[in-house]
Amino acid sequence: MSRMTRSRARTPGPAGFTLVELVVVMTIAGVLAATVGPKFFSQQTFSERGYADELAAALRLTQKTAVITGCAARLTVAAGSYVATQQAASGNACLASDNTWPTPILGSDGTALAGSAPSGTTASPTGAYQFDTQGRLASSPGATVTVGTHTITIDANSGFVQVQ
């Protein structure tokens, strides 16, 4: 018997999937797409992380401004916004008795350091995070700020700000 005849004599195995197997796989894929799919298309997680990074940068700039200018500075955080200010200046010194904090802290673009959270994103706890002239956290509603699932930690002794 030649080689051609032997190879033709073999019967091939199954050549595909049955209809039942295809329906089961399509059903499982549909259930997974319906339950897990929307999580991949939600912007909420990205909005929360972006706002946490923005708020941490504002805290860092507020702390650095206090050190550079020699005047205490604070970042006031509300649930959906923040604003950075300093005590009023008197000549080349700060008015330590000033409780109004009227001087806005300016960002690198020359505008007042302030911002608002994206829709559905909030920060807590709210209150004033005040840094002294050596960059330490002088007063605050807490050493951590929570934005969604992200936590901003502020070391009270050094003023170091970290997003987790």
CA distances to 1, 15, 81 from 9, rounded to whole Å, are 11, 17, 78
CA torsion sign, 51 to 78 to 69 to 66? negative
Please report, for the chain, the start and end positions of each structural domain, with discontinuous segments joined by +. 44-163
Instruction: End-to-end CA distance of the chain: give it in Å, rounded.
Output: 74
Residue 82 belongs to what H/E stretch?
A: strand 81-86
Q: DSSP string of 86-105?
A: EPPEETTEE-TT--S--EEP
pTM of the model: 0.74
- Name which CATH class applies to 44-163: alpha beta
Per-residue pLDDT of the chain (164 residues; tens, 9 = 90+): 555 555 555 666 667 889 999 999 999 999 988 888 777 777 888 889 999 999 999 999 999 999 998 889 999 999 999 999 998 887 788 888 888 889 999 998 999 999 999 998 999 999 999 999 999 999 888 899 999 899 999 999 998 999 99
